[in-house]
Amino acid sequence: MKKENINIHKNLKIIGLVAKNGENIAVIEEFFASRGIEILVEKNSAKKIGKKGFRLDEICKKTNFIISLGGDGTLISTCRQVVGKDVYVLGIHDGTLGFLTDIKMNDMQSFFTQFFAGIYEIERPLMLDVVFKKNGGKNIKRVAFNDVVITRNTISSMSKVDTYLNGKYFNTYYGDGVIVSSPAGSTAYNMSANGPIIYPLSNVFCITPICSHSLTQRPLVLPNEHELSFKNVDENEVAIVIDGQDVFDMNKFDEVCIHLGNTHANLIRHLNRDYFSVLKEKLHWGHNGGKA
């Protein structure tokens, strides 16, 4: 997906705010109040400072700009909740080390000086569409920003899932589980499991086994027109975890289908943000001058 320029900054009167912690909410409110902009704090975030706040769907009816104040998890949760709406999300870093939130609190003033001058970009990373199917029942649809993890539910058991590619049997994964990762999520759990790092605006996704009981199992990168589906084998205790936030019991469904569709997030970024410089910084590449 390409980066885009959109005039979000023009005639901006209201901004929504989702915050992991409450300590910087007042700082942000004061910063924008001096510019004549009202901050609508999401209700769970507002509780942290003893205020009432607003539901996120209410905020989305009043503005198309939301600030996510926290780490990558806060940004991911916010993007998932506003998916399908014409809403743009800016991540301000106020959490642990991550790849998604590149603006720090002490960079806020300099960033918004550029922002209100129209100097910024929009990134639209594709998200995973997830469909839980039950024969005779209603399908459940979800989206994943980073990944869908199919994993053993207890430490004393293994997961064993049959995998289908575009409706045809493809593989059986037996071990600790399997990760289906979006391009933006490739630097999360997928990377920890030795999966490939994918440029986040690519039109591909990947499947990575977790501690497989077969040495021949390897990560696989797929183009976005392909669909993966998974079925539990022998009713093992297997969980399906979306972005580390939503958990489902695989035994309650006949099949789980995952593909990289047209669903995307809308992220506000620094102009000409260099993803590869972020990789170099976060992963400490090149710090020894190329010496082993």
Residues with catalytic roles: 72
Contact 107, 284 (CB under 8 A): no
Sign, CA dihedral 1-189-21-85, equals positive
CA–CA distance, 240 with 286 (Å, rounded to integer): 37
- In Å, the largest CA–CA distance within the chain is 62
Other Cβ atoms within 10 Å of 225 Cβ, number:
10
- CA-based nearest residue to 66, from 91, 100, 47, 99: 91
- The one-letter amino acid code at 21 reads N
- Angle 108-115/25-33 helices, nearest 10 degrees? 40
CA–CA distance, 81 with 159 (Å, rounded to integer): 29
CA–CA distance, 207 with 50 (Å, rounded to integer): 43
CA–CA distance, 179 with 67 (Å, rounded to integer): 29
- CA-based nearest residue to 263, from 130, 71, 153, 150: 130
- The one-letter amino acid code at 258 reads I
Contact 190, 182 (CB under 8 A): no
Q: Which string of DSSP letters, residue by residue, matches 72-95? A: HHHHHHHHHHTTTSS-EEEEEE-S
